[in-house]
Structure 1
Amino acid sequence: MKSFDRHDRLLAIGLSALAGYVDAVGFLATGGFFVSFMSGNSTRLGVGIAEMSGNAAIAAMLIGSFLVGVIAGSLIGRVAGRRHREVVPLLLAGLLGGAALLGDFQLLWPAAVLMAVAMGVENIFFSEGTEVRIGLTYMTGRLVKIGQMLAAALAGEDRWGWIPHVLLWSGLLGGGAAGAVAFILVGSDALWIAAAAALVIAVVARKPMAVAPPPA
């Protein structure tokens, strides 16, 4: 996070909040499955296999959907080139809007599949080639980084280096709380809010082009 400018840090926090929001909606709508946190679904897959439960198939479906999103986002990002940061949020908005529409027709599991695809797409926003510079839908590694930076601060090194990482984690936390409240209040219609937020991010992601000064 230290190497990112203020604009990109704000985008990262916003996208992390969106991931938390969508994951909370998905978690409540599906009764305990995740649409962005695939480590949790992997654990559920393992437990489901051990118990020979149908939950294993659900977890596998969501993991596969997430992977489809990563693959699709990566391929579209390659085609879009330098404009991929504008294209990815638009694709994200379309997928979340589609999930919201399916939710309106009480098609829960197809909606969950689209949500998982959308969260896979989101992780491509800060990608460069095959490298993802910031993971936006998972925070275990970020918490490790917070611990490392706090240890560095206690050792008298970078005093405030932990703050950007805490802000990113807080984005996911705050988004999760907001998503839970929204789902309790309006059910799957909460996804329309997520789709609108993705459109806002698409606008914010467009950095203004530098304008050359007029000739003297």
Structure 2
Amino acid sequence: MAELSPSSSVRVSARRILVLDLLAGYVDALGFVYLGGLFASAMTGNTTHLAAALVGGIWPHAFMLLGILGTFFVVAMLATLARLRWQAAIGIACVGVLLGATQIAMLTPWHRTLALVLLPALMAVQGETIARFSGTAIQTIVITSNLLK
């Protein structure tokens, strides 16, 4: 296979980052609208909502947020172990499987509950396993820090 020039490598990485950012935006928007104001990838937003729900005594909302946060962090830890064992390619495969599972879950009577688990799991895998482009670490699920770079 031919080596890419540095500028070609950067362009390829930029396209990959764009696609992954679009996926994260789609999943976060879907989660926010479909799950009633809960984020699939923006855990900072979810922790803020959790604090407000706890202070306001809105327990059902707080429990859903705890479920999303817990799912995200547990899956992120598992994704880290998978990445260390099998390299980043496993992340791409897992993202595809989770995206497909989410689409299939929408056809079931438990679609909302499954979405509460699958969407943050999808974003945790993407964020933890697909994060290096042209030798630079770049986050593809939350773009705030990327805007500052």
The TM-score normalised by the length of structure 1 is 0.59
Where in structure 1 do 4 or more consecutive aligned residues deviate above 4 Å? none
| Rg larger for | 1
Letter in 1 for 2:114: P
Return the offset for 1:11.
0.8
User: What secondary structure sits across from 1:143 in the alignment?
Assistant: helix
Q: 2:137 aligns with which of 133, 137, 147?
A: 133
Instruction: Assess if the C-alpha contact under 8 Å between 1:100 and 1:111 holds in 2.
Output: no
Q: Which structure's relative contact order is higher, taking Cα pairs within 8 Å and 6+ residues apart? A: 1
Give yes or no for contact 1:69–1:119 (8 Å, CA) kept in 2. no
Q: Secondary structure at the match of 1:10?
A: helix
Is the CA contact (8 Å cut-off) linking 1:69 and 1:121 kept in structure 2? Answer: yes
**Alignment partner, residue 23 of structure 1:** 28
Alignment of 1:82-121 (within 5 A): 84=88, 86-107=89-110, 108-121=112-125
> Which of 39, 42, 53 is the matching residue for 1:37?
42
Deviation at 1:127, TM superposition (A): 5.1
- The gaps in structure 2 that reach 5 residues or longer are 1-6
Q: Percent identity?
A: 27
Aligned length: 137
RMSD over aligned CA atoms reads 2.0
Q: Normalised by the size of structure 2, how large is the TM-score? A: 0.83
